[in-house]
Amino acid sequence: MARSKQTDGAEVWQVLGAPAGTRDGEPVAAEEIAGQIGQLIASARLPEGARLPSERDLAQLTGASRPTVSQAIRILIVRGLVESRRGSGAYVRRKPETSLAATVSLMLSLNKESVVHLNDLRLWLESDGITQAIRRSMPAEVDAGEVALRQLAASAGNTAAWISADTHFHATLVRASHNPYLASIYESVHETLINYEYRNWIDGGTVPNWLRPSEAAGLTALHEPILAAVRDRDEEAGRIAVLHHHDVMSQHLAASRA
């Protein structure tokens, strides 16, 4: 395998090898590939920020098809272990929030009806996080939010990239609350809901109608008021913007459940 830019040495990836892409005569599944890469990340053999090999290289290593490898990367993205950078590739994200997100995800898997309560929790955490960000944020943090918003707009039409960009935007602003525990819990809850909400589109590798490139302006208009409230130090505007975003996302969540 040719060494990819910013990717660890090829020897790290040899554990993914699967002769002829099979185990006991069965094709290697996306979940299995995602699990193997997840173990590399958890064991610290892959540092934060490391670039994953291209889908073509991963397919050669595992013997799996390109669609299977693509699905494995999407699984890692919704688990919060990898982020997709449009036009650049997939990169490792390793954070303390990962284990917390896994716990929240397990609770949801045991009681899927509780997703409504988890969605409420996301609203409460973000509402408080944005209020505190309005009071405590620094100019550089507002600037980071503006960069994240541009990345979000550019991700329209790409479900995997959107998942990463959406989480990054909201987490960037909540981190400006300067409360690391609030930020960590919020990001874990948000990632779990994103995983649940987008699961059908991720499994099918499709893009929902509201996420198509033609809807980019509307998506920006949904998120920009949250940033504007932080920038303008307007707590009431922040409360309204977060609640409006919550209402729209709840509609998407209901659609995914249906």
Taking only the tens place, the pLDDT of each residue in 228-242 is 999 999 999 999 999
Q: What is the pLDDT of residue 25?
A: 44
**Does residue 157 have a pLDDT over 50?**
yes
Q: What is the pLDDT of residue 44?
A: 62
From 48, 70, 92, the end of a domain falls on 92
Residues 183 and 111 in one domain: yes
Taking only the tens place, the pLDDT of each residue in 193-224 is 887 887 777 777 778 888 888 888 888 899 99
Taking only the tens place, the pLDDT of each residue in 90-113 is 998 766 566 677 788 888 888 988
42 vs 90, more confident: 90
**Does residue 3 have a pLDDT over 60?**
no
Closest CA to 92 of 100, 101, 84: 84
Residues 130 and 212 in one domain: yes
How many CA within 13 A on the CB side of residue 92? Answer: 22
Residues 122 and 240 in one domain: yes
From 61, 92, 123, the end of a domain falls on 92
The enclosing domain of 231 has a CATH number of: 1.20.120.530
User: b vs e for 186-196, b when ≥16 Cβ sit within 10 Å of the residue's Cβ?
Assistant: bbbbbbbbbbb
In terms of Cβ atoms closer than 10 Å to its own Cβ (0-12, 13-18, 19+), residue 129 is buried
Which residues have C-beta within 8 Å of that of residue 72, sequence separation ≥ 6? 30, 31, 33, 34, 37, 58, 64
| Domain count within the chain | 2
Least confident stretch, 8-12, 87-91, 111-115, 178-182 = 8-12
60 vs 17, more confident: 60
**49 to each of 4, 83, 89, 215, how far by Cα in Å?**
13, 9, 11, 30
| pTM beyond 0.85, yes or no | no
Beta bridge partners of 90: 84
Evaluate whether residue 4 is within a structural domain: no
Q: What is the pLDDT of residue 24?
A: 47
Average pLDDT over residues 131-140: 97
**Does residue 23 have a pLDDT over 50?**
no
DSSP code for 211: G
From 49, 72, 92, the end of a domain falls on 92
Evaluate whether residue 160 is within a structural domain: yes
Residues 130 and 246 in one domain: yes
**Does residue 246 have a pLDDT over 90?**
yes
**22 to each of 43, 77, 171, 203, how far by Cα in Å?**
25, 24, 39, 21
The enclosing domain of 35 has a CATH number of: 1.10.10.10
Q: What is the pLDDT of residue 1?
A: 39
Among residues of the chain, what percentage have pLDDT more than 70? 85
Asked whether the beta carbons of 161 and 85 are under 8 A apart, the reply is: yes
Per-range mean pLDDT, top range of 18-22, 77-81, 140-144, 184-188: 140-144
- Domain span at residue 160 reads 97-257
**Does residue 170 have a pLDDT over 80?**
yes
